[in-house]
A and B are shown apart, each in its own frame.
Chain A
Amino acid sequence: MTELQNIAKKLFDDGSINLLIGYSNNENGGTSAIFIDNSADIDKLIYNENCHQNLMVYFQKPEVKKFGKLAFVVSLPGLKSVLEIASENQIKDGDAYFIAIDKDGNPSLLQDFHQIEDFITNNQTKPPMGLLKLMEKINNMTREERWQYWTDEFSKCIKCYACRSVCPLCYCTQCITDINIPQWISTESSPIGNLDWHIARAMHLAGRCIGCGECMKACPVDIPLALLTANLNKSIAIHFGDEPGMKADYKYPLSHYKLEDKENFIR
């Protein structure tokens, strides 16, 4: 038994949890989420470098919530999402156990938000260089080139909403794109509908996205979606000095304000 499985087994034996969400090998040679509700299945639990899915996406699902006491296998992005949804009052201290995987792949059991905050501070990683380079490249383009770049990218979108489904912070019970009175976003996968959807998605995640990049990995047509939210987070950091997913008492920058906020374009 691995250390990860030992921790999981102990939680089940104590009666601390009813459901554990982790990773297991799937029949396609990759890894998938596994939902374990009794200790007999624990030997299927694994963790390796292929386990990137942000499992906190399941936390808000009613099918999962009904189990009551939960545990999640999470790495750094997952823990950041825990703090972000905590700051949005979606999870309370002690609601769930977290088996945190550190940067060397070693598991440890975390429960309260202070432990998670410390873990995140000690395990910070740099954002992927490829993403930063692409962001810089786009920022150095002329406006017309940027428009061309994004219309080309968005024209590939087939409106499958995988980016929404995979995001731990897209938990609205009714998404703006599903509302038809008024119809804010055209449901067809037309250039305008796609543009509206991606702008709305990015704006609704501005200052909330913790940068796990799952939207980009889930996208079947490889639109670099994480760039939009990463660039928004960059401007939020510049304007307001906020960074999501670092503290459980984080204040969402777009629902708070400072009298001395400075802009240079309002006449």
Chain B
Amino acid sequence: MSEFEPKIVAFVCNWCTYAGADLAGTSRIKYAQNVRIVRFPCTGRIDFMLLLKAFEEGADGIIVSGCHPADCHYTSGNYHARRRWMVFKDLLDFIGIDSRRIVFSWVSAAEGAKWAHLVNDTVSEIRNLGPMKEYKNLENVSSNKIGELIND
């Protein structure tokens, strides 16, 4: 059996991390191919529902990254995002969704190498955690229940 290849979705801001990832590319830095990048205007735009949708669509891990504090293109988007993630992470922990599968980071436009490290680290961490089974099992619960209802 081939080794488990995690699917990672990265939600990144246009002004810092997306440019940082671009720099990693133009600098010819090699990093894991497991990441799918989704570009946003700002980390302040990244709604928590998007993260839940990513898990629903089969992501095993998520990276959320944007400008360092004091660097936001819109002055304060990342500060708002920081508060949102502090609260959202606590909710995930309380509900029992593995918050280690969501990696938050600040990657600036100059940090192509940091981006490559971040992706590589995340991929190896998620590889150790294994596939995100919880959401897939939910789907089974759903169909089983409906099946039971029909049989009754």
Q: Which residues of A contact B (CB under 8 A)?
A: 138-139, 141, 143-151, 155, 176, 184-185, 190-192, 195-196, 199-200, 202-203, 206-207, 228, 231-232, 235-236, 239-240, 253-255, 257-259, 261, 263, 265-267
Contacts and interface: CB of A to CB of B under 8 A. Distances in A.
A267 B103 CA distance: 8
Interface in B18-73: 48-49, 52-53, 56, 69-70
Contact of B96 (A148, A176, A236, A258): A148
Contact of B87 (A149, A196, A232): A232
Q: Chain A interface mostly helix, strand, loop or mixed?
A: helix
B97 A147 contact: yes
28 contacts: A146-B96, A149-B96, A150-B95, A151-B138, A151-B141, A192-B138, A192-B139, A196-B52, A199-B48, A199-B52, A199-B91, A203-B87, A203-B91, A231-B90, A231-B94, A235-B90, A235-B91, A239-B86, A254-B80, A254-B87, A257-B83, A259-B70, A263-B85, A266-B82, A266-B85, A266-B106, A267-B104, A267-B106
Interface of B: 48-49, 52-53, 56, 69-70, 76, 79-80, 82-91, 93-98, 103-106, 118, 134-135, 138-139, 141-142, 145
Contact of A191 (B79, B94, B106, B138): B138
A265 B94 contact: no
B88 A190 contact: no
Contacts of B139: 191-192
Most chain B CB neighbours (cut-off 10 Å) among A138, A206, A236, A266: A266
